[in-house]
């Protein structure tokens, strides 16, 4: 029920923001062509996020042994080869495996379907909404593929300062967070 309210708000926000854009009226054919090009660009963002995340994970898997940390900026940032059986930023990593995998895959698929429906139902997306949705879909698809194929996701970005470590993550997680931030900003500041 809550997902429906959120998706309805995103659809309303996308429709309102597209009407608020100060662009001159275009003839019908030109407007449809511009909308098609815009949607192709969003699809390219999805594909780029997916491909870059999969390539970086493959690179780390081939070049860094499991558990080994490679300092990039000493005292701040390392590359490390770890697997995450939880969700983003290792949440629920310690939960029982019997129900966790089915639940995470099911929730991921449901959320992806909801986001795609929002994008397809919106007549026109403004750039922040479209890019935000594309980043979320690209990152979620990449992590979902890993979870289905391997039962876990490879994480490799490790930021820290002295004894404080941020949870290790990957580029898909970064794309999801950046996309969600764009959507949140759009919700907060839309007219």
Does the structure show a pLDDT above 70 at 96?
Answer: no
Give domain limits for the chain.
Answer: 2-19+28-189
Share of the chain above pLDDT 90, in %: 45
Catalytic residue among 53, 78, 146, 155: 155
CA-CA distance, 171 to 57, in Å (whole number)? Answer: 9
Half-sphere exposure of 56 (CA within 13 A, CB side): 22
Catalytic residue among 53, 146, 158, 173: 173
Q: What is the pLDDT of residue 32?
A: 81
Question: What φ, ψ does residue 68 adopt, rounded to 5°?
Answer: -85, 135
pLDDT band of residue 107 (cuts 50, 70, 90) is confident
What pLDDT, in 10s, does the model give residues 41-71? 999 999 999 999 999 999 999 999 999 999 9
Judge whether 155 counts as a catalytic residue: yes
Helix, strand, coil abundance in the chain, percent, nearest 5: 65, 15, 20
Does the structure show a pLDDT above 80 at 95?
Answer: no
CA-CA-CA-CA torsion sign (24, 27, 30, 31): positive
**DSSP letter string, 89-101:** GGTTTTS-HHHHH
């Amino acid at each position: 029920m809550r997902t429906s309210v959120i998706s309805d708000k995103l659809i309303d926000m996308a429709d309102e923001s597209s009407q608020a854009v100060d662009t001159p009226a275009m003839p019908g054919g030109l407007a449809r062509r511009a909308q098609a090009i815009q949607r192709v660009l969003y699809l390219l963002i999805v594909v780029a996020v997916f491909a870059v995340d999969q390539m970086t994970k493959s690179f780390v898997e081939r070049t860094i042994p499991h558990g080994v940390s490679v300092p990039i900026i000493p005292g701040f940032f390392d590359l490390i080869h770890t697997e995450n059986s939880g969700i983003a930023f290792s949440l629920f990593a310690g939960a029982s495996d019997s129900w966790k995998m089915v639940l995470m895959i099911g929730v991921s698929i449901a959320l992806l379907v909801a986001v795609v429906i929002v994008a397809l139902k919106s007549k026109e997306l403004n750039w922040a909404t479209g890019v935000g949705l594309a980043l979320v879909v690209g990152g979620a698809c990449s992590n979902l593929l890993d979870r289905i194929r391997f039962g876990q996701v490879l994480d490799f970005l490790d930021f820290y300062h002295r004894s404080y470590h941020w949870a290790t993550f990957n580029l898909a997680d970064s794309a999801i967070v950046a996309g969600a931030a764009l959507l949140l900003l759009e919700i907060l500041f839309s007219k």
